[in-house]
């Protein structure tokens, strides 16, 4: 499995509604509200043969209220 983190900017007033939908998506492990330029941080698992770009585009960016995303692809987990 590939682990990715996606930071999400939401339309004003939409972060809680978007988070409720995001947490229901297959492959989404955790959704956090965060401070800073982004509103949500989403931890996701994508199959090794899966396409991260399609996952982000088709699953996450299509959620109503999502305005912008920044994807972080991980390499190794320590600890």
pLDDT tens digits for 10-59?
999 999 999 999 999 999 999 999 999 999 999 999 999 999 999 999 99
Q: Where are the alpha helices (DSSP H) in 1-79?
A: 15-22, 52-54
CB atoms inside a 10 Å sphere around CB 35:
6
In the chain, the domains with their CATH numbers are 2-73 (3.30.70.920)
pTM over the 0.85 mark: yes
Handedness of CA 9, 11, 16, 19 (dihedral sign): negative
């Amino acid at each position: 499995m590939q682990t990715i983190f996606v930071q999400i900017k939401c339309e004003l007033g939409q972060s809680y509604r978007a988070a409720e939908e995001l947490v229901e998506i297959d492959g989404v492990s955790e959704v956090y509200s965060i401070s800073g330029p982004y509103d949500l941080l989403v931890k996701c698992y994508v199959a090794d043969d899966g396409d991260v770009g399609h996952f982000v585009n088709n699953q996450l960016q299509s959620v109503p209220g999502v305005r912008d995303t920044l994807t972080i692809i991980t390499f190794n987990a320590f600890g």
